[in-house]
Amino acid sequence: MENNYCVIMAGGIGSRFWPMSKTDRPKQFIDVLGVGKSLIQITFDRLRKIAPAENIFVVTNESYTDLVKEHLPELGDDQILNEPLRRNTAPCVAYAAYKIREINPNANMVVAPSDHLVLNEEEFTRVILKALDVTSQSGNLVTLGIQPNRPDTGYGYIQESTEALSIDEEFKKVKTFTEKPELEMAKFFLSSGDFYWNSGIFVWNASTIIQSFEQHLPDMAELFENGRDKYSTHQEVSYLEEIYEVCTNISIDYGIMEKSDNVYVLPCEFGWSDLGTWGSLYDRLEKDEFQNAVAGKKVRLYDSTNCVVNAPADKLIVLQGLNDYIVVESDNALLVCQKENEQKIKQFVKDLKLEFGEQYV
């Protein structure tokens, strides 16, 4: 396990979880499941079964450094990779890969978001270790594909081909990536049987992903390659500030995965949800006899069904006549939104920021 490394991506704002998730404390630092641990703490505990604690790194925005330390005091300062600017996931992955390669040229990496839910952790561990075994033997990029159970338009989709990896036929070569489709297309994907939800969890050898950056994002690769003598030194912070100013803002999916011909998907099922929306959280929460999921000690519902309600413990809230609604109160903001329109929350946040400033978002 000494060559196993895990990278937790924890720099996002989580605007679709507003108003619980706000810029100064996004959802990865919140106990959204009501289990006494934040999502990033749950993720860290899960990954400790795959790599030793000293091999787990967190990439985050520098404004969240203190939050990471608060939630994960086990991490040393050198395990927290602070991005000076938000530049999407490709620079995040590049930073981690180049730094980890300097520590261990034989490193195999798992890259995972900080805010996902995994119900079957034993199966998750088995799948990840299987993928790490494959990437240690071959120069391939692996993504985990989740078996879809509904035509969800909030997820990206991965289509597998019939071509299997020679050393393990469970791994199928990726044919196409599709970002969040329209409903009819999602229904087609579900019925076809060869599409999976894109989990956003990746496994590869550090050298392999660096070669992919050199091939598909050469300008970005050059920036991080030129910092090889600065990682884990006092020059690291200033160098990152310099290169992030000119670094391309692009996701790892667009920048690398969709362009590469050595990408394989490992189909799996371990009770996964990206917890990206209130609706995805609703699916995982315990519900009452009227299918309402309520977090809040003094919430009372009348003539209401299929709602998700989240309120402070000391707030008395009475709701009547609501069906399929999201109701969330947090600090200085209240959201009441139809569940079917939850994708609009991200736009609400943008509008509110423009009109009322940062204090509400």
pTM of the full predicted structure? 0.92
**What is the per-residue pLDDT for 14?**
83
3-class secondary structure, 87 = coil
121 phi, psi to nearest 5 deg: -70, -30
Q: Which residues contact 191 (CB under 8 A, 6 or more apart)?
A: none
Alpha carbon distances (Å) from 112 to 4, 129, 169, 185, 218: 13, 14, 24, 27, 24
pLDDT at 316: 94
Q: Where does the chain hold its CATH 3.90.550.10 domain(s)?
A: 4-276
Q: What CA–CA distance (Å, rounded) separates 321 from 60?
A: 42
Q: What is the DSSP letter of 217?
A: -
Q: How far apart are CA 213 and CA 344, in angstroms?
A: 34
Q: How open is the CA angle 76-240-78, to the nearest 5 degrees? A: 10
pLDDT at 206: 97
Distance CA 345, CA 86 (A): 21
Alpha carbon separation from 27 to 32, 37, 60, 180, 230 (Å, rounded)? 7, 12, 13, 21, 32
Q: Say which DSSP state 148 is in.
A: P
Q: Is the dihedral of CA 248, 253, 259, 261 positive or negative?
A: positive
User: How far is CA 249 from its chain centroid?
Assistant: 17
CA 336 – CA 328 distance, rounded (Å) = 7
Question: Where in 168-277 does DSSP place strands (E)?
Answer: 168-178, 195-205, 263-268, 272-273
Amino acid 358: pLDDT: 86
Residue 343's alpha-carbon distances to 18, 204, 323, 326, in angstroms, are 11, 32, 18, 12
Q: What confidence score (pLDDT) does residue 97 get?
A: 98
The one-letter amino acid code at 53 reads: A
262 SS3 class: coil
Q: Are 268 and 145 in contact (CB under 8 A)?
A: yes
DSSP for 330-345, written as a single string: ETTEEEEEEGGGGGGH
Between helix 39-47 and helix 121-137 the angle, nearest 10°, is 60
Distance of CA 274 to the CA centre of its chain: 7
Amino acid at 120: N
Class assignment of domain 4-276? Answer: alpha beta
Per-residue pLDDT tens digits of the chain, which is 361 residues long: 899 999 999 998 888 899 999 999 999 999 888 788 999 999 999 999 999 999 999 999 999 999 999 999 999 999 999 999 999 999 999 999 999 999 999 999 999 999 999 999 999 999 999 999 999 999 999 999 999 988 888 889 999 999 999 999 999 999 999 988 898 999 999 999 899 999 999 999 999 999 999 999 999 999 999 999 999 999 999 999 999 999 999 999 999 999 999 999 999 999 998 888 898 889 888 899 999 999 888 999 999 999 999 988 889 999 999 999 999 998 899 999 999 999 899 899 999 999 998 888 9
